[in-house]
Each structure stands twice: as C-alpha cells, then as structure tokens.
Structure 1
Amino acid sequence: MNEVLGALLPIALGIAISPVPLIAVILMLLTPDARGSSLAFLAGWIAALTVVVLVVAILISPVTDSDTSESSPIASTLKLILGAAAVTLGVKQWRGRPRAGEDPVLPRWMSAVDSMTARKACGLGALLAGVNPKNLTLSLAAGVTIGAGGLPPAGQALAIACFVAIASCAVGTPVLGNLLAPKRMRAPLEALQSWLTAHNAAVMTVLLLTIGVTLIGRGIAGF
C-alpha cells in the first residue's frame, strides 16, 4: 500500500496544481452565484476523477499478478505509453507558451464562466478532470498504478480515495474557503488568478515533464 501511495502522490499533485481548472473555479468564486456553481464544479471534478481511476484500476487488476505486479509487462507498457504522452504534452505546452511581450491566451469558454448554471459548472468540472488530455493522461496513470499494485479491493478503494482527495485539494480549498469567509478570500483569489494566468505554460510544462519521465522510468524498471 505504501509503495502505491508513494507512486500516486506526484501524479495526484500534478492534477491538483493544474492551472486551468484552478483558474476556472476562481472565476466562479468571483461571480454572484459563487457558492452554487463552485460546489457543482467540485462535485463534477471529484466524480470524473473517481470514475476514470476506478474503471482503469478494475480493468488492469485481472491482467496483473499480485505477486509480480511491478514486473507485469502490460502495466509496464502502459506506464511507458502514458509517460511518453505526458512528456509530449509538456513539450507541446512549452512550445505554445506566450512569447515575450505577448499576453497569455486563456480558453474561450472561460468568458462564459460568470453566467454558468450549476449543471453546466458540474459538467465543466467533469470535463476538465476526466476529458482534458493532461488530466486524463495522469488519471489513467493513477488507475494503472493502483490496478497493478496488487492491492485487495479495500486497499484499492482507499488508494483511489486518497488519490482523488489529493488531486482535488487545490480546487476544493478555495471553494471551501469561500464558504467560510467569502469576503476575505476575494483579494487572494484575484491575485492567484493573475499569477496562474501568467505562468500557466511554465507550471504545466514542469509538471508534465517530471511526471512523464517518472512514469517512463517506472515502466522501464518493470521489464
């Protein structure tokens, strides 16, 4: 269990500090319907992460041996593929960064965040967690890690819960903070939004390259 949790930690953190979902939830918290939309976004985010990781873990478990999970060719191959995908996404992110003097360009859908209903916010949270290529790659890696970890069902459930909790902490913290002290949170949220917007490409590049290389290393070690 400890080895699986240790392998999950950097992957979960990679999802947790992904700038785009965090910017989206911050924008929601600065709208009149901050409570409803942000809570719906968080619910969709958690549900999508849980479903993706759970499904992959279930699919991987039957084809790996609990006594030799670390040397499973299937799990090792998947780690290599997902690691290469993460590195590719990291390079693409860096190449698409704003050049000197250019303003960062955010996705067009962010302009509609302030008018989103709770249902749409929930769907957006699910899309950013479970369909966004960067987070989907990392979630698949987490599912492979859990499924190939040789854990019993209860252990897998605990590992998934820990992963989702860590991966959701950055999105969940401002939502919960806004519930407790909405006025005090406004200035820090605006400052954080500005910083994340300016450094989105650099943050994601470092995260994806680091996690990608780690996955490739674990995949090679499994053969």
Structure 2
Amino acid sequence: MTLDLILIGLAITLEPFPIMGFILLLTAHRGIIKGLAFILGWLACLVLVIAGVLLFTNGSPPSLNSSPSTASLAVKLAIGLGLIAYGVHKQRKGPRPREEPAWLGRLRHISVWSAAGMAVLLQPWGLVAAGAATVMGANLSHTITWLVLVLYCVLATASLLVMELYATFKPARAETRLQSLLTWITGHQDQAVVILSLGLGFWLAGKSIYQLA
C-alpha cells in the first residue's frame, strides 16, 4: 500500500492541468488568499475520500480474495488500463503547440470561494479513485498507516504548497518565475501526461493483475 500511495500522490501533484490553474490563481489579484483557498479545497477532497473509504472498511483491510478486496483490485486494474490507453492515445497524436485555454485564463478573476470550488473541478479524479482503492487496504491499528496516509495527502499537494510558500515569501520573484513555469508547462503538458499516464498505468495494471492471479 505504501509504495502505491507514494506513486499515486506523486502523479497527482505533478498533473499539469491543476498546476496551470493554480499558477493563474496565484498570479491574480489576492492570489495568495485564492491559492490558500484552492489548497484547502484540494486537501478537503483528498481527506473526505479517504475518510469515506475508511468508514466503509472500519479501518481494517478486507480479507484476501473477499468481494471488497477483489473489487478494489479490479478498480485499480481498470484505472491502470485506462491510463495506459490514454497515454498511448496522447503519444500517437504527438506533441502539439499549445496555448492557454481561454476559460482557464478566467481563473484570474474568480472569487476566493470560487477558487476553493475550482480545486474540486481540477482534481484528477481518476488518480484520486486509484488512491481510494489503495486505501481499502489500510489498517488503522498500525501507527505507520496514519503516517502513510498523511504522507499521501502531503505528496498529492506538494507542488501547490511549494508554489504557495514561494509566492508568499518571495512575491517579487515568484510572479515572473511562475509565469515562466506556466509557459513551459503549456508547451510540454502532452509529454508530461504521457509519462505520468503510462508510468502509473503500467504499475497499477501490472500489480493488480499479479494480485488477482
């Protein structure tokens, strides 16, 4: 469970589209406050999903080969295969010149409360679902499990936290560098999506097939 959650958390934090939206919020008027609202909304989604899974399992992993255990592996397999298919599709299309979507640019003008709501919309829910299926195996009677769950949430939010702290303590430099990062991600998001999708997809699918066999 630990390695799976670490890999899923890293994939979530490196997803290019949420990062692009977050940069636009940070570089807008009252960007620090909007960024904080986005982070709180983002974390709330992760925590609520984890809490829902743990309530379902009562904090104990389902027994091996039981229906819940098989279902969680089937979900991870389906997500893994979906990520592989999506990564192959993007790779075959090849990298294309990208421009910032017009609607994404409107994030600069939304309210603080809307910024929190955008965190819900921009969350990579396929990856969050993979994390939820993995949390099915969590055993809350072990202290290390709590630490792993906290680590997962921190990793999944790490890129946002780093940018928020940078913009807070180095505002003069942050705007220029974040804008440069946005330009770079806009031009390389296809390659990033291919790498993340194929890497995590093969891991989830391969491990799920092995455990189901």
What TM-score do the two structures reach when normalised by structure 2? 0.87
**Counterpart code for 1:104:** R
Q: After the TM superposition, which residues 5-44 of structure 1 pair with which residues of structure 2 at under 5 Å, given as runs? A: 5-44=2-41
Cα distance in 1 between the residues matched to 2:18 and 2:165: 16
The residue aligned with 1:114 is 108
Cα distance in 2 between the residues matched to 1:57 and 1:214: 24
Cα distance in 1 between the residues matched to 2:207 and 2:140: 18
Cα distance in 1 between the residues matched to 2:94 and 2:119: 24
Instruction: Number of aligned residue pairs: give it.
Output: 210
- SS of the counterpart of 2:29? coil
Report the CA distance shift for 1:92/1:118 in structure 2 as closer, same or farther (over 3 A): farther
Matched, 1:125 2:114: no
The residue aligned with 2:141 is 152
* Cα displacement (A) at 1:115: 0.7
**Counterpart code for 1:122:** A
Q: Deviations over 1:165-187 (max 9, x none)?
A: 00100011111111111112122
Check the 8 A contact 2:83/2:198 in 1, yes or no.
yes
The residue aligned with 2:86 is 89
Report the CA distance shift for 1:118/1:164 in structure 2 as closer, same or farther (over 3 A): same
The residue aligned with 2:211 is 222
Q: After the TM superposition, which residues 47-196 of structure 1 pair with which residues of structure 2 at under 5 Å, given as runs? A: 47-59=44-56, 64-65=62-63, 72-94=69-91, 98-99=95-96, 103-129=97-123, 135-152=124-141, 155-196=144-185
Gaps of 5+ in 1: 130-134
What TM-score do the two structures reach when normalised by structure 1? 0.83
Q: Deviations over 1:131-189 (max 9, x none)?
A: xxxx2111111121121244537554433221110010001111111111111212221
The percent of aligned pairs where both chains have the same amino acid is 26
**Counterpart code for 2:166:** G
Q: Deviations over 1:52-90 (max 9, x none)?
A: 23323443566712x779xx4233222211211222332
**Counterpart code for 2:16:** P
Gaps of 5+ in 2: none
Check the 8 A contact 1:26/1:193 in 2, yes or no.
yes
- SS of the counterpart of 2:98? coil
